[in-house]
Chain A
Amino acid sequence: MPFSIPGSPTAEAAGRRGRVWRRLRRNRLALSGLAVLAAVFLAALLAPLLAPQDPFRQNFGLVMAGPSADRPLGSDQLGRDVLSRLLYGARLTLSVSFTATTAGLLLGALIGLLAGYYGGRIEAAAVWLTDLALAFPGMLLAIAVIAAVGPGLTSIIIAAAVYTTPQFVRLARGSVLVEKQKEYLAAAVCLGESDLSLLLRYLAPNILSPLAVMYTIQLANIVLIASGLSFLGLGAQPPSPEWGAMLSQGRAYLQVAPHISLFPGLAIMLVALALNLFGDGLRDALDPRQER
């Protein structure tokens, strides 16, 4: 019957979480990052309601028109409303990034946990694979995956997940190795806890903090990588309103209609910025050295 002994690692972790949340609340920069993220999330969710126009409808009368009262962000080279496309594009950006990062987290943490806990050949294999993956520069690894599976939206999710999994494996394994030294694990083993119980009840909660910080930072990286891949034409195909793809299409008209590329890029930057701000704040809040 699972129960929390006061002073046990699970109880301690819960108490810490309260303090962490309070510390986070005081960091205004991190909160503004979170607010921006929430706004983008809402915008994506409510895109059908918020978008003034159909993002795919072409209007040849308004081709490359600059910002106006009607269309605050202007129109692109086919006369489509940039703002509407941005709103729908947010859905793509968020879903791709969250899916890929979450997949990377779950897979990577699982492998890292098992590798660190069991050691031996499992660990050696995991370490070799991780080092191998990390021997490829990030963007390049993603491109190699796309080369193998072909362009497309699902492909960039896979590519991004492949990119981020090794980072989580490394982090999870490292954290497990650190926790393994601590006495509470030895005590639990003496009490006859099963492997699964140890992994789930003791190890997993205690490596959550670094994993959470890594998750936010990786999200920011993946937003950039995914839109970069789409920019190269390896991701979402036209007429998809993916932000990177929009930027790429606007390139040809940079001189006459810079807004076509400018606004999608700005959107990507804002999301990455917000994620980094929040990630930094989360890391500071979780930093054990700040415990008073």
Chain B
Amino acid sequence: MSAYILRRLLMLVPLLIGITIVSFLILQLVPGDPARIIAGMDADETAVQEVRRQLGLDRPLVHQYLSFMAQVVRGDLGRSIRTGRPVLEEVGRSFPLTARLAGASIFIAFLLGVPAGAAAAWRQNRTLDYAVMGLVLLGVSTPTFWSGLLLILAFSLSLGWLPSGGTGGLGHLLLPALTLAAPAAAVTARMTRSSMLEVLGQDFIRTARAKGQNEFKVVVGHGLRNALVPTVTVVGLQFGYLLGGAVLVETIFTWPGLGWLIVNAIFARDYPVVQAGVMLFAFCFVLVNLLVDVLYAFLDPRITYG
């Protein structure tokens, strides 16, 4: 098992390097002179030159990349152009908030999606199945920035039950998490359903019934337990969506997470922050996928004991 994990980690290295290259290139691809942009549009030539020298923008590209990498490894992600504070600090402050939001959303998505999908598979082609699939369709087609507004309209502005923005306790977390979770729950439900349908058609389900086991234990204990294995991988992909979709939800609910930070940084042309933020998100996504793969191997003994 540990050999498997080690192998997968090693395969990740070229990918991680690629991510840093892409993040590095963001600044390079910006139209116009990055030094001027950072120095300010009305700075004079010497100031721009100074910035260029300071940031090493006059050195060959590879050089720049290497020193960029050296800094990253040291934990120095530069300084935010907008606030002057270390990027690491800014990112470090906002990332946990996004993590909290994404975590709550995945939890909700799983909690709603898995039983819905399983129930739909159990009652295939009957009303419950059609209802679930209808909701799934709505879930993947509804823009989060719209559903979020609808929720705010309903629960904050009209009913006044929940706050419409900012951070805080559970009350502040609920609406954003629900908004973000909806499409993920839909995809989870769909995946669980198809996985369950496949499992429920297999012979060992028949055996379990032939033993005299009650229907619930057959469907959940034998059926769902097997169906969850491929569903887990989908959860990993959903996490990627959540990280990306967090940007929109954080904007609507003014939840000051990393996504919100990145978008603001783009408008402020605060490229160090953009670079660091994008890099961190991608790293997280890759790591989560690795975790999911390991979890998959853990759940399916055919892979480890094979």
Q: What count of chain A residues pass the 8 Å CB interface test?
A: 45
Q: Is A194 an interface residue (CB 8 A)?
A: no
Residues of chain A from 235 to 292 with CB closer than 8 A to chain B in the complex: 244, 247-248, 251, 254-255, 258, 261-262, 265-266, 268-269, 272-273, 275-277, 280
Distance in angstroms from A134 CB to nearest chain B CB is: 8
Of residues 247 to 264 in B, which have CB atoms within 8 Å of A's CB atoms? 247-248, 251-252, 262-263
A146 to B23, CA, bound (A): 13
- Which of B141, B244, B281, B286 is close to A273, meaning CB atoms less than 8 Å apart? B141
Q: Which residues on the A side are within 8 Å of B22 (C-beta)?
A: 132, 136, 144
By beta carbon, the residue of chain A nearest B23 is A144
Closest chain A residue to B29 by CB distance?
A: A148
In the complex, what residues of B have CB within 8 A of residue A151's CB?
266
Q: Tell me how far the C-beta of B124 lies from the nearest C-beta in chain A, rounded to whole angstroms.
A: 15
Whether A140 lies near B152 (C-beta < 8 A) is no
Q: Please judge, given known A-B contacts A140-B243, A146-B266, A232-B247, whether A135 and B146 are in contact too, CB under 8 Å.
A: no
Residue B120 lies at the interface, judged by CB distance under 8 Å to chain A? no
Pair count A-B, CB < 8 A: 138
Residue A116 lies at the interface, judged by CB distance under 8 Å to chain B: no
| B residues less than 8 Å from A146 (CB atoms) | 266
Interface readout for B261-280 with A: 1 if CB under 8 Å, 0 if not? Answer: 01100110001001000100
Q: By the criterion CB–CB under 8 Å, are B31 and A144 in contact?
A: no
Residues in chain B near residue A277, CB distance under 8 A: 137
Q: Which of A136, A147, A224, A254 is in CB contact (< 8 Å) with B281?
A: A136
**A-contacting residues, B14-42, CB 8 Å:** 14-15, 18-19, 22-23, 25-26, 29-31
Q: Which residues on the A side are within 8 Å of B26 (C-beta)?
A: 144, 147-148
Identify A128's interface contact among B18, B146, B149, B281, CB under 8 A: B18
Neighbouring A residues of B146 by C-beta, 8 Å: 247, 261, 265-266, 268-269
* Complex contact A232–B251 (CB within 8 A): yes
Given contacts A128-B18, A135-B19, contact A143 B247 (CB under 8 A): yes
Tell me, yes or no, whether A117 is within 8 Å of chain B by CB. Answer: no
Residue of B nearest to A133 (CB): B22
**Do residues B149 and A251 form an inter-chain contact, with CB atoms below 8 A?**
yes
CB distance from B247 to the nearest CB of A (A): 6
- Interface flags for B114-147 (1: CB within 8 Å of A; 0: not) read 0000000000000000000000011011111110
A143:B263 contact, CB within 8 angstroms = yes
Contact of B31 among A132, A135, A150 (CB under 8 A): A150
Question: Would B266 and A138 count as touching, CB distance under 8 A?
Answer: no
| Interface pair B145/A244, CB less than 8 Å apart | yes
**Is B241 an interface residue, CB under 8 A from the partner?**
yes
Which of A227, A261, A265, A276 is within 8 Å of B140, CB to CB?
A276
Contact A137 B157, CB 8 Å, known A228-B248, A268-B143: no
Contact yes or no, B29 A224, CB < 8 A: no
Please give the distance in Å from A226's CB to the nearest CB on chain B: 10
Q: State the interface size on chain B (CB cutoff 8 A).
A: 46
Q: Are B143 and A135 in contact (CB under 8 A)?
A: no
A234 near B: Cβ within 8 Å? yes
Query: Is A46 part of the binding interface, using a Cβ–Cβ cutoff of 8 Å?
Result: no
Query: Pick the contact of B248 from A132, A220, A232, A272 — CB < 8 Å?
Result: A232
Whether the Cβ atoms of A147 and B143 lie closer than 8 Å is: no
* A144-158 contacts to B (CB < 8 Å): 144, 146-151
Are B145 and A269 in contact (CB-based, < 8 A)? no
Query: B281, A137: Cβ atoms under 8 Å?
Result: yes
The answer to whether B263 touches A138, judged by C-beta atoms less than 8 angstroms apart, is no
Cα A132 to Cα B23 in complex, Å, equals 11
Please state if B143 and A265 are interface contacts (CB–CB under 8 Å).
Answer: yes
The residue on A at minimum CB distance from B22 is A132
B258 and chain A: residue at smallest CB distance: A140
Q: How far, in Å, is A82 (CB) from chain B's closest CB?
A: 15
A234 touches B266 (CB 8 A): yes
**A149-B274 contact in complex given A132-B18, A265-B143, C-beta closer than 8 Å:** no
Q: Report if A137-B241 is in contact (Cβ < 8 Å); known contacts: A148-B30, A272-B143.
A: yes
Complex A-B, nearest 4 residue pairs according to Cβ-Cβ distance, in ascending order? A265-B146, A139-B244, A137-B244, A148-B29
With A150-B30, A255-B157 already in contact, 11 other A-B pairs whose C-beta atoms are closer than 8 Å: A136-B22, A138-B241, A139-B244, A144-B26, A148-B25, A151-B266, A233-B267, A251-B149, A255-B153, A272-B140, A276-B140
List 8 interface pairs A-B (beta carbons < 8 Å), by A numbering: A140-B278, A147-B278, A148-B29, A227-B143, A228-B143, A247-B149, A265-B143, A272-B143
A-contacting residues of B (Cβ < 8 Å)?
14-15, 18-19, 22-23, 25-26, 29-31, 137-138, 140-146, 149-150, 152-153, 157, 240-245, 247-248, 251-252, 262-263, 266-267, 271, 274, 278, 281-282, 285-286
